[in-house]
Structure 1
Amino acid sequence: MQTRLADFIRDTADGEEADAILRKCVHCGFCTATCPTYQLLGDELDGPRGRIYLIKQMVEGASVTRSTQLHLDRCLTCRSCETTCPSGVQYGRLVEIGRQHVEANVPRPFGQQLLRRVLASVLPNSAVFAPAMRLGQLVRPFLPRRLRDKIPSRQRLLEWPTKDTAPAIHAKSNAAADAGVDATHPAAARRMLMLAGCVQPAMLPNINIATARVLHALGIETVIEAEAGCCGAIRLHLGYRDEALDDVRRNIDAWWPHVEAGIEAIVINASGCGATVKEYGHLLRNDPAYAEKARRITELSRDIAEVLAGFEGELAVLARRRGVHTVAFHPPCTLQHGQQIRGTVEHLLGSLGVDTRLPVDSHLCCGSAGTYSVTQPALSYTLRDKKLRNLEALEPQMIVSANVGCIAHLQSGTSMPVAHWIELVEHLIYG
């Protein structure tokens, strides 16, 4: 696709990247076959190819309108089109460039501005989000459906006993010792950083606990740096790019002493966060003070599935089947399309004796997509309900996934337990 960049974006980093991505597109349309919004709406402009044309027009100087904004807003950024594309078009990066330009040129209605500002201010700030979540859980039965669905109950999804708390080692306190975990455990031999996340500790805290316990069983000490926070994804996808990059720099600064001390990896159990942290090198490629550090952080980042893939034998010895033998797995878009990790979780659970089944539409988004379920509720609920029908048709005992947003979103539409797959592994080990 040939482009003629307008003066406002020519000779800029965004312009050079947009031009390179656009030139890869050959108009084939394969992407439309795997685009959730195109399948639902049937509008060319609500598919990747149509949105690419819209972005091409804007970088060539055409005026942008509320209609342009609407079609880009409806994009889930699931990146399924990237997996499908035979030409390697990096659509996810292109749509972020397009959204930045639209946000700068098309004023939003006041209600949308307020909603997006609240989301960008509250969700990434755990000091604000955690008490807000606790309050929401107290009054959850009285809230409107749209809010109630975003607030998981405090009850554990499955009644799995947990004998002690997480053996995570925080940067400024030894929580393993506080929890009574054996200090002579070979965990001291290997150390990994873990991103705690911004919403996950308050919404679904058992995920981080399970991750730390499984790694501890394998002899790996888990370090949570208290100064690290939101990965930046929430603000980035809402169009607050400068604030998102500040999140990125803060995390790099917090983690860097551990990197210099020789930390083995940065393990991430929320695939949405993992997809973003693995982009740090790209996001800060033009920042002379952070480019090299960001590249190193990207190199060290690992999804928990990538970490455990090398421990199948050890896990098989540790794990004991305890009632759960059949699960349906929803692979989040950020895992299979963003990080290009496919088959790893299914293979790992299978090696532990769990029949792990994929739905017929396993490549399609569940509709969670970060804040999408709040900003585009109608489309989000339609995608959720379709996904749940296909998952429940597999007749599993429970549904497992790999991202906090997907888990909470799916659980809001079903009485079947939905959990992170690492919680299941913890259950198989500890009972």
Structure 2
Amino acid sequence: MLSHIPQAALDADPNVKLAKDIIGNCVHCGVCLSRCPTYAVKHEENDSPRGRIFLMKDMYEKGGAPDAKTVEHLDRCLTCLACEAICPSGVEYSKLIAHGREYVEEHYKRPLFQRAVRELLIRLIPNARLFRLAIFGGRLGRPFRGLFSGTLRAMLDMVPTTPLPAPSPVDRPQTFLPAPEGGKAVKPRKRVALLNGCVQTVLDTAINEATIRLLQRHGVEVVVAAGSGCCGAPAEHMGDEAQALPLVKANIDAWLREADGPNGLDAIVINTSGCGTSIKAYGHALRLDPEWADKAARVSAMARDITEFMVEIGLEKPTTPTGLRVVYHSACSMQHGQRIVNQPKDLLREAGFTVLDVPEGYLCCGSAGTYNLLQPEIANELKERKLRNIRSVDAQIAASGNIGCMTQLASEVGLPFVHTVELLDWATGGPEPAALKGQKLAAE
């Protein structure tokens, strides 16, 4: 796609130069439209990747503040990256939309309510104590949710109705040694840092607990590094680089202290695919910063989804007979963002499960980080479509590798919904996942 971005803008910002190059790779073929969830819902060109690329081209060419229409259509993008995964021209849409959003936040003044909601989410999500407090407040307001609409209604609808788990001791900074064999200590095969995340330390502490048990059982030493925390994705997805980068840099420092220490690190293991996609992009995000570029690239190179890492070291033979039918929902950040498609399903099969695919599996469920709160109408349409597709499969359990998708779907899917790592942990000697207890599931 030919663009006429002023030379002064290109000289002033290397990111604008990169945007011009990416825009130039788009040939307007329209292949991306077949995979775009917002285009599937809205059937409007400006709500497709091709349309948004044109809008960003126009935004950079004109300079200054973008118009409200451009902002609306960029906001509607889920950043699912299905378009990037299928693009025959290799258009790096993820980098383009990331900078496009940063440009919007720098030049466009949002209405007060939008600014307040976005600031609230950016501050709440990374802080477990504030997040728990917000959920408590949301429960008080939930009976009155019918009085609200839009984002406020979506926030109240998303408040969990079941009790939150107590904070887990495994989420505090510490080191977990490999499980002993025959009462004797085992020399670690590998040493990894675990990102314990922010949302799941509040909503589902069992995920990190299962991850640590699984790794220990496979001879891996696990460290929860002091100073590590939120990956920065919530702020990054909203274009707020100023609030994302301190979180990114804190993680880089925390993990490199471990990597450069006496015991080193073999990998940084992540069990939330949305976070994994962001961490693998640290190198790109800080490539222009001479102080941080090399350090960020090192961290990105060490990042592994838990299923990637388990494939690398090999899964032990299952000790718990399962034989259950699992429908596997591949999060967009997993299959499109990280291009991890087969590893989770292969591991589940090795663990003794029958794995079933979701029809239209490429299509986003509507969660997309905070999207289901900021764009509830589109998110709900996508959720209903995903729920219909999951229910159409004759499964006994649903599984995914992303807490956001689980939160979006679990309460309405009609099946026990668990994290992939919980099933792998159970099959290799761990406890039965809490969501399966009391369920009458007959193994095949």
TM-score by length of 1: 0.90
Q: Is the 8 A contact 1:130 1:199 kept in 2?
A: no
Q: Residue 115 and residue 254 in structure 1: after superposition, are their counterparts in 2 closer, same or farther (change >3 A)?
A: same
Separation (CA, whole Å) in 1 of partners of 2:184 and 2:371: 46
Report what 1:114 is aligned to.
116
Unaligned runs of 5+ residues in structure 2 are: 146-152, 432-444
Secondary structure at 1:60 match in 2: helix
Report what 2:216 is aligned to.
216
Secondary structure at 1:227 match in 2: coil
Alignment pair present for 1:128 and 2:127: no
Report what 1:265 is aligned to.
267
Report what 2:204 is aligned to.
204
Report what 1:277 is aligned to.
279
- CA apart distance, 1:413: 2.6
Q: Is the 8 A contact 1:169 1:176 kept in 2?
A: no
Separation (CA, whole Å) in 1 of partners of 2:171 and 2:202: 19
Alignment pair present for 1:9 and 2:17: no
- CA RMSD between the two structures: 2.5
Report what 2:94 is aligned to.
92
Separation (CA, whole Å) in 2 of partners of 1:195 and 1:140: 32
Separation (CA, whole Å) in 1 of partners of 2:217 and 2:188: 12
1:147 to 138, 148, 155: 155
- The 5-angstrom pairing of residues 30-429 of structure 1 reads 30-61=31-62, 64-133=66-135, 135=136, 139=140, 142=143, 144=145, 146-154=154-162, 171=173, 173=174, 184-186=184-186, 188-261=188-261, 262-312=264-314, 314-316=315-317, 318-322=318-322, 325-429=324-428
- CA apart distance, 1:8: 5.6
Q: Residue 111 and residue 170 in structure 1: after superposition, are their counterparts in 2 closer, same or farther (change >3 A)?
A: closer
Separation (CA, whole Å) in 1 of partners of 2:196 and 2:186: 23
Separation (CA, whole Å) in 1 of partners of 2:66 and 2:4: 17
- CA apart distance, 1:7: 5.0
Report what 1:21 is aligned to.
22
Q: Residue 199 and residue 240 in structure 1: after superposition, are their counterparts in 2 closer, same or farther (change >3 A)?
A: same
76-85 vs 391-400, which deviates more? Answer: 391-400
- CA apart distance, 1:244: 0.6
Secondary structure at 2:9 match in 1: coil
Q: Deviations over 1:258-305 (max 9, x none)?
A: 111321100000000000000011000011111111110011110001
Unaligned runs of 5+ residues in structure 1 are: 158-164
Q: Residue 366 and residue 296 in structure 1: after superposition, are their counterparts in 2 closer, same or farther (change >3 A)?
A: same
- CA apart distance, 1:186: 2.1
Q: Is the 8 A contact 2:33 2:39 kept in 1?
A: yes
- CA apart distance, 1:31: 0.4
Percent identity for Structure 1 against Structure 2: 37
Letter in 1 for 2:283: G
- CA apart distance, 1:183: 8.2
Separation (CA, whole Å) in 2 of partners of 1:371 and 1:181: 43
TM-score by length of 2: 0.88
Q: Residue 183 and residue 10 in structure 1: after superposition, are their counterparts in 2 closer, same or farther (change >3 A)?
A: farther
Secondary structure at 1:315 match in 2: coil
Separation (CA, whole Å) in 2 of partners of 1:209 and 1:140: 31
Q: Deviations over 1:33-88 (max 9, x none)?
A: 10000011110000000000000111112662111111001100000000110010
